[in-house]
A and B are shown apart, each in its own frame.
Chain A
Amino acid sequence: MTDNRFVNKSELIGILLLAALLVVILPLFLDVFRLNLVAKYLTYAFVALGLVICWGYGGILSLGQGVFFGLGGYCMAMFLKLEASSVENTKIQSTPGIPDFMDWNQITALPMFWKPFHSLTFTVIAIVLVPGLFALIIGAAMFKRRVGGTYFAIITQAVAAILTILIVGQQGYTGGINGMTDLRTLKGWDIRPDHAKIVLYFFEVGCLFVCIFIAQFIRHSKLGRILVAMRDKEDRVRFSGYSVANFKIFAFCVSAVFAAIGGAMFALNVGFMSPSFVGIVPSIEMVIYTAVGGRLSILGAIYGTLLVNFAKTSLSESFPELWLFGLGGLFIAVVLAFPNGLAGIWGDYIAPQIARLFNSGNSKPGGWAGKPVADSTPAE
């Protein structure tokens, strides 16, 4: 890691393999329905990617990533919903031109905060800025006062609970428990037919790779090294003259923005947004995707997300009773036995075997696993 390149050779191979899988293999072998499912899983991969930066490198466990996923998703959904509720589409309502759930809740005019979402430019900016600013406020309030570790986790969890209750309670403004459904077009382009789903899938994969490169850049820059140092010995970094709080805030904001992009992709690809992706349960599930993939591995988190979701879909289709036992067992097994997740297994067992097989002489574990986290206590 002495040079300033932000991908080394083994990482480049890993990224190319992932690209081949997502861009070539999956679209070739899966039908549109399954490909759309993969698109849905990949929206969580954005969140997992953010958690690698914030939790794996920064040591900040946020249990409120669903909040940012939801904020991004709702921003996108509000734009799509407004477009779907044009005056001619909503002729039968008592107030045409407003979303259907507002009409059902006896609201007769579009609320102020909905109006800017007529503009796509504003929406795209809002998807990044709203969660980013929110994370900045929470982060600044907490980290400047040196609140961290378990307290931070509990408070982010409370924030997730608050936002869910708020969205469910304010049915007239947010669509309530059903969320925003029946999203149709993006600037007149129908997002529902099969070919649109395929285009959206490739768009999402493109965004994911942009995020992967940003994450790689952060990780290999000096910034990333300070994050790791801070996670392992916070006081030493502080005494060296760095502002620990600012670095933590930065990591938290990056993870929030990644999660928000994932949420916006979710609204586009899946065609609805609801509070069931905001609360505590989805937030913790997103953490477990990262943990299964490997909290220190950028690519591992993506594979972890895909695998857990594939398992969830297939298991809960055929054995709904077993699924929760399986998921619970997975949590415990990952935490107790494999704190570095799949990437750790790869780096410790499989990669050395492959290296020996090809006799390349480089028996060091690849850039995937890095340092084991089991021994290092998280910064308090």
Chain B
Amino acid sequence: MFGDYSIGDLGSIFVMQGFAGLILFSVYVLMALGLAIIFGQMGVINMAHGEFMILGAYVTWMTSNVFQAYLPGLFAGYFFLAMILAFIASGALGMLVEWALIRHLYKRPLDTLLATWGLSLILQQAYRSVFGAREVGVELPQWMLGSLHVTDSIEVPINGIFVMCLTVLITLAVAYIMYKSRWGRQVRAVVQNRVMAGAVGINTEKVDRYTFALGCGIAGVAGSAFTMIGSTGPTSGQLYIVDTFLVVVFGGAASLLGTIASAFSISQTQSTLEFFMSGSMAKVLTLLAVVGILMLRPQGLFALKVRK
């Protein structure tokens, strides 16, 4: 398979495919971060996670339209406001869903899966009714278009770099919140021992609600970033949900570092394979490898030892 390329070409190919893999990696990490909090910390299977992400994407799309129509001068910076709005919208919806649905089902994790799947159907149809069935794409500001020429044969798109920087920032923020802040300590205390956490005065119901909302809000930001590299339709979220769950499970459900490592390995494998075979076969092989490894090592790459 390498016969037709020179060494230099091959190098460039690997760099370019590696970069494409890094963009996929960013999307996986952004989606998986929210899920790692909700599934990994709370044990809730949120099948509607993709729909929370799409909500963020639609919020971004609306913001860009508003800026285009009324504030064309500030258009270059609309994206930062859109991200905040996306976080608030998805987080608020998450809080509502936790209050109405999830809190009744903490003892039945498999049933949360079915209920949130129902929720995802409702949200998809709602998006279809409100925004139409066609995919929408946002207008990117001028500075995000184009690409950087690193060498003659290697060039990298600017929006990709932007999404990657965003991913790093959000990951650092989540790591800080979960491991350094007082609130993150409360979350981890509730996860490790709910009864004891309640006994020392932590309001566990409140912690649950805000944890779920935070996970959904991050999904909203992910959706916002997603608009930079692809278009948004009512069912776009569903395309990624299984991959994202695999990323989280593969990494070891409760480990943030594991999530990042598994997102990296899965996305790099897939994008490298994609060059040598059809996209569908690359995906099949990647997923098969992940499922195979999970069968050998069910606890995932980075397992946290907790007493059950």
Contacts and interface: CB of A to CB of B under 8 A. Distances in A.
B295 interface: yes
Nearest to A138: B295
A268 interface: no
A166 B278 CA distance: 11
A163 to B, nearest CB: 9
A158 B242 contact: yes
B287 A162 contact: yes
B180 interface: no
Interface of A: 61, 63, 141-142, 145-147, 149-151, 153-155, 157-159, 161-162, 165-166, 168-169, 280-281, 284, 287-288, 291, 321, 324-325, 327-332, 334-336, 339, 374, 377-378, 380
A147 B118 contact: no
B114 A162 contact: no
A380 B45 CA distance: 14
Interface stretch (B65-73, B122-130, B195-203, B212-220): B122-130
A169 B124 contact: no
Contact of A150 (B110, B115, B290, B308): B110
A158 B280 contact: no
29 contacts: A61-B110, A63-B113, A147-B298, A153-B45, A154-B245, A155-B294, A157-B242, A161-B242, A165-B284, A166-B280, A168-B280, A280-B242, A281-B238, A284-B117, A321-B128, A324-B124, A324-B125, A325-B125, A325-B126, A327-B118, A330-B118, A331-B119, A332-B115, A332-B118, A334-B114, A335-B105, A336-B105, A378-B109, A380-B308
Contacts of A142: 295, 298
Contacts of A61: 110, 113
B249 interface: yes
B114 A291 contact: yes
Contacts of B144: none
B121 A377 contact: no
Contact of B101 (A159, A324, A330, A336): A336
Contacts of B107: 377
Closest 4 CB pairs between A and B?
Answer: A331-B118, A169-B280, A328-B122, A328-B121
A168 B284 CA distance: 11
A169 B290 CA distance: 19
B242 A328 contact: no
Given A145-B298, A336-B101, 6 more contacts: A149-B109, A154-B245, A161-B287, A166-B280, A166-B284, A328-B120
A169 to B, nearest CB: 3
Interface of B: 43, 45, 101, 104-105, 107-111, 113-115, 117-122, 124-126, 128-129, 238, 242, 245-246, 249, 278, 280-281, 283-284, 287-288, 290-291, 294-295, 298, 308
Q: Interface SS of chain A: helix, strand, loop or mixed?
A: helix
A166 B110 CA distance: 27
Contacts of A287: 114
A374 B110 CA distance: 12
Given A141-B295, A158-B291, A335-B111, A165 B125 contact: no
Contacts of A141: 295
A324 B115 CA distance: 14
A150 B45 contact: yes
B308 A328 contact: no
A287 to B, nearest CB: 7
Given A158-B290, A330-B118, A150 B242 contact: no
A155 B287 CA distance: 10
B151 to A, nearest CB: 34
Contacts of A155: 249, 291, 294-295
A339 B114 CA distance: 11
A330, A331, A334, A374 interface centre (most CB from chain B within 10 Å): A331
Contacts of A146: 298
A374 B246 CA distance: 28
A243 B246 CA distance: 29
Contacts of A321: 125, 128-129
A165 B279 CA distance: 10
A88 B280 CA distance: 35
A287 B125 CA distance: 20
Nearest to B44: A150
B246 A331 contact: no
Given A158-B287, A166-B284, A335-B111, A151 B117 contact: no
Nearest to A137: B295
B204 to A, nearest CB: 18
Given A145-B298, A151-B249, A162-B287, A335 B118 contact: yes
